[in-house]
Structure 1
Amino acid sequence: MMSPEQNELITRIGPGTKCGALMRHYWHPVALTDELPAERPAKAVRVLGQDFVLFRDERGRYGLLDRDCPHRGADLAFGRLENGGLRCLFHGWLFDVDGKCLETPAEPEGSVLCQRVRQRSYPVMVKNGIVFAYLGDGEAPAFPDFDCFLAPSTHAFAFKGLIECNWLQALEVGIDPAHASYLHRFYEDEDTSAAYGKQFRAASSDSDIPMTRLLREYTRPQIDVEGTDYGLRLFALRKLNDKHTHVRVTNLVFPYAFVIPMSSEMTITQWHVPIDDTSCYWYAIFTSFGKPVDHAQMREQRLKLYELPDYRPHIGRHNQYGYNVAEQATQTYTGMGFDINVHDQWAVESQGRIQDRTREHLGYSDKAIVAYRRLLLSAIGQVANGEKPPMWLDAQRAATIRGPIAIDGMGPTQDWQSYWKDVDARRRTASSWAAQTPPPRVA
């Protein structure tokens, strides 16, 4: 059982906290590129309990600055985009993407005040529709050569959504292989040919059994967890008979992402980015190994669930997650509709803004959660001792970390260990882009 002190340690991420110090060793998604439209490419963002302004200048360069103007603290998020930077509305001070002060127009002619002023800036990088930022001190780590970053933009789609609870419980639902048989149970199976863009609705590789039926009928998966160079690899095995076992391979990418299969040709890489201690955004890149992603359809599907500009869910705590008694009796396990994002939102938000882990009783199905918390505590200790944590990568190491492999497939019961690797190899060989990249190393 976890102590209150441990729960505080692993959930609090603001400036001056030990977990916050760990988090500031990594790149974090801070916005979708879609959030910076041509008519005004600037917006306020809050990440790890800090406030920033993100903008794109006339040359197409992205900048992330502290939000308060270094002159007298006015809000730069309302600034004017002009003359190569972002101009404060209060006295016209102008800053470029690197935080350099370009002008202080209200000062006397010949003033050199501008030369002595600098706004803190943070490195930013765009990867397949997501703007990432490094919020720490010193050298930023390199990006790993994950599939979601290597795929061409035609084969990747990015989106996000707001979750009103602590980042850790939002992450932990994604590394819980057992919950899908209950939380995402449907009592009727749809035509799998209409499952595009929907999680747990298609058939898995080498099978014509809908995932909805598989999850509903095989509710006690064997769960195995192994350490990897990027975090953890999870296996969920649902044995149908002596010949066939359904194999699901998912991944925890330290510190707070997971990589899971969406269909036989598409994977989801999803980050759980703390806004502060009691809210977070999920950011996802959907990556296709087969056909190009239908961006219009994927976006239309998700805008039915999320409201712009904040990507706040239409169905949530404020309207009882759409709970319907009649539906719960006949159609879905939750009575909360047919989109699993709503189910997950209820599961993690209903635990409270910050889950009280001193009251929980973990079981066999929580193996991955236990393994992750141990990894997190160890990493917090490493940073406190002045060491680099897991997944802090230099360029050489980053180029060796690939994948990760994420598949659903119907494999042989006796040789499932080889099966999932073979499925991934087949998928990569047939892919227009993945066939050109070195495959992941698998021990």
Structure 2
Amino acid sequence: MMSQEQNDLITRVGPGTAAGEVLRRYWQPAALSEELVGARPVVPVRLLGEDLVLFRDNEGELGLISRQCPHRGADMAFGRCEDNGLRCPFHGWHFDRNGQCVEQPGEPEGSQMYKNIKAKSYPVVEKNGMIFAYMGPGLPPALPNFDCFAAPDTHVFAFKGLWECNWLQAMEVGIDPVHASFLHRFLQDEDPSEGYGKQFRDKAADTDIPMTQVLREYPRPEINVEETDYGMRIISLRHLDNGRTHVRITNQVFPEAICIPMSNEMTITQWHVPIDDENCYWYSMFTSFGNPVNKSLMREQRLQEHRLPDYAPLKNKQNNYGYDPDEQEKLTYTGMGLDINVHDQWAVESMGSIQDRTQEHLGKSDVAISRYRRMLMKAIKAVEENNDDELPMWNGALNVEEIRGPLSIDAIGDTDTWQDAWKEADTKRRAACEWPAEL
């Protein structure tokens, strides 16, 4: 359990809040590139409790500025994307991608007032179908050389989904290895050959055993947590009955991302990005170490579960997440269909908009969650004391661009030598990769 004061400290993200100031020191996913496709590349963005508007100018460059016009507060999401910037329809004030006002056509001839008008703006970068914003002080840190960034665009598929809950409980489900054996339990095993683009549908590495069977039959993993330069490595060991051990390597990427294996050839890097205190988006980059990603198929699969333009899930609390008691008896542990995103969504939204951690009771299997919260509290203290260089993966002695991976994989090896099995499996996967994927 924790106090209400502590819970507020680690969950609230608006300007000036403790956790919000930590998150603002890292690049945050702000939108998908596909949201700016079309004749008018302008999209409203609500991020860390701030209302912004993202646009692409005539030169193809991106701008992220305040949604409220500095003149009279009109909504710039309805701005005219013209003259290499964004123009407010109210009085024609024109802003470039850095938020600088460059024209006030209604002011007296020769007025220089525009030179002193600047909308709030944030730096943005675009990587493999995702647009990131830096909302913190000073110059932004470098991006790490993660696989999802190092891979060519052909091998990465980006998507997002809306969850109606606080970012922290959304992230914490991804660093909980035990829940997969229950929340994502399938009572029948699908044909793994039909599982492209779906998590836990592969066979366990170098076996004919479906991953769904491994998770179902071995629900008590031994969990080890190691702190790393990017956050934490979580090692889950499921000791099989034949002297072999299934090893699953997942990661917490500070401050609010995870990197996990999706299949034998694909990983998922997923950020849990606060819209505000009570809503978040998950942003995922699916990275292939094998063939180029079939983006059209994966997008089609996702759009069967989500609506546009807000990427909200079709199954939600209003329709009980599609719950079917007959299915719960015969097919899935939840009775909520075969998409595990829906299972996670139900779990984290059912906790309430902001989980009341004053009432929780963590067990030994929650070791990664406990370690992460301590890491976050340490980061909050570092920011409060103006010691940003002590933050994980920031601008201190560490060269951020040298951070690679993180290694995320499922492997099976002899129980006595499991420490080597996952490293050897990753080395083999990277050696066969079509793009440079050295760690």
Please, what TM-score do these two structures have when normalized by structure 1? 0.97
Q: Partner of 1:70 in structure 2?
A: 70
Structure 1 residue identity aligned to 2:403: I
Aligned pairs for 1:358-369 within 5 A: 358-369=358-369
Task: Give the aligned CA root-mean-square deviation in angstroms.
Answer: 1.1
Structure 2: distance between partners of 1:328 and 1:432: 41
Aligned pairs for 1:364-403 within 5 A: 364-388=364-388, 389-393=391-395, 397-403=399-405
Q: Partner of 1:49 in structure 2?
A: 49
Cα deviation for residue 396 of structure 1 reads 6.4
Cα deviation for residue 399 of structure 1 reads 2.3
Structure 1 residue identity aligned to 2:142: A
Structure 1: distance between partners of 2:438 and 2:153: 19
State whether residues 260 and 406 of structure 1, in contact with CA within 8 Å, keep that contact through their aligned partners in structure 2.
yes
Cα deviation for residue 304 of structure 1 reads 0.4
Aligned pairs for 1:106-125 within 5 A: 106-125=106-125
Specify the SS of the correspondent of 1:247.
Answer: strand
Q: Partner of 1:280 in structure 2?
A: 280
Structure 2 residue identity aligned to 1:222: E
Query: Number of matched residues?
Result: 437
Which one of 408, 417, 420 corresponds to residue 419 of structure 2? 417
Specify the SS of the correspondent of 1:175.
Answer: coil
Cα deviation for residue 243 of structure 1 reads 2.3
Cα deviation for residue 204 of structure 1 reads 2.5
State whether residues 85 and 96 of structure 1, in contact with CA within 8 Å, keep that contact through their aligned partners in structure 2.
yes
Structure 2 residue identity aligned to 1:334: T
More displaced stretch, 283-292 vs 388-397: 388-397
Cα deviation for residue 412 of structure 1 reads 1.5
Cα deviation for residue 411 of structure 1 reads 1.5
Aligned pairs for 1:129-208 within 5 A: 129-208=129-208
Specify the SS of the correspondent of 2:59.
Answer: coil
Structure 2: distance between partners of 1:393 and 1:60: 29
Q: Partner of 1:306 in structure 2?
A: 306
Specify the SS of the correspondent of 2:15.
Answer: coil
Cα deviation for residue 242 of structure 1 reads 5.0
State whether residues 85 and 97 of structure 1, in contact with CA within 8 Å, keep that contact through their aligned partners in structure 2.
yes
Structure 1: distance between partners of 2:153 and 2:398: 25
Structure 2: distance between partners of 1:198 and 1:90: 47
Cα deviation for residue 254 of structure 1 reads 0.2
Cα displacement string for residues 407-443 of structure 1 (whole angstroms, at most 9, x for unaligned residues) = 012221111111111111101010010xx3431xxxx
State whether residues 155 and 287 of structure 1, in contact with CA within 8 Å, keep that contact through their aligned partners in structure 2.
yes
Cα deviation for residue 394 of structure 1 reads 6.5
Structure 1 residue identity aligned to 2:273: V
Q: Partner of 1:220 in structure 2?
A: 220
Structure 1: distance between partners of 2:255 and 2:117: 35
State whether residues 143 and 393 of structure 1, in contact with CA within 8 Å, keep that contact through their aligned partners in structure 2.
no
User: Residue 98 in 1 paired to residue 98 in 2?
Assistant: yes
Cα deviation for residue 19 of structure 1 reads 1.0
Q: Partner of 1:256 in structure 2?
A: 256
Cα deviation for residue 241 of structure 1 reads 2.7
Structure 1: distance between partners of 2:382 and 2:255: 13
Structure 1 residue identity aligned to 2:291: K
Q: Partner of 1:20 in structure 2?
A: 20
Which one of 400, 407, 410 corresponds to residue 409 of structure 2? 407
Cα displacement string for residues 276-314 of structure 1 (whole angstroms, at most 9, x for unaligned residues) = 000000000000000000000000000000100000000
Structure 1: distance between partners of 2:189 and 2:242: 25
User: Residue 426 in 1 paired to residue 425 in 2?
Assistant: no
Cα displacement string for residues 346-371 of structure 1 (whole angstroms, at most 9, x for unaligned residues) = 00000000000010111011010000
State whether residues 96 and 102 of structure 1, in contact with CA within 8 Å, keep that contact through their aligned partners in structure 2.
yes
Structure 2 residue identity aligned to 1:308: L
Structure 1: distance between partners of 2:40 and 2:55: 9
Structure 2: distance between partners of 1:335 and 1:407: 28
Please, what TM-score do these two structures have when normalized by structure 2? 0.98
Structure 1 residue identity aligned to 2:329: A
Structure 1: distance between partners of 2:397 and 2:157: 25
Cα displacement string for residues 95-146 of structure 1 (whole angstroms, at most 9, x for unaligned residues) = 0101121110011111111112111211000011000000112110100000
State whether residues 248 and 408 of structure 1, in contact with CA within 8 Å, keep that contact through their aligned partners in structure 2.
yes
Specify the SS of the correspondent of 1:179.
Answer: helix
Structure 1 residue identity aligned to 2:203: A
Specify the SS of the correspondent of 1:342.
Answer: helix
Structure 2, gaps ≥5 residues long = none
Structure 1, gaps ≥5 residues long = none
Structure 2: distance between partners of 1:191 and 1:350: 31
Which runs of structure 1 show a deviation greater than 6 angstroms over 4 or more consecutive aligned residues? none
Q: Partner of 1:40 in structure 2?
A: 40
Structure 1: distance between partners of 2:327 and 2:398: 53
Structure 2 residue identity aligned to 1:392: W
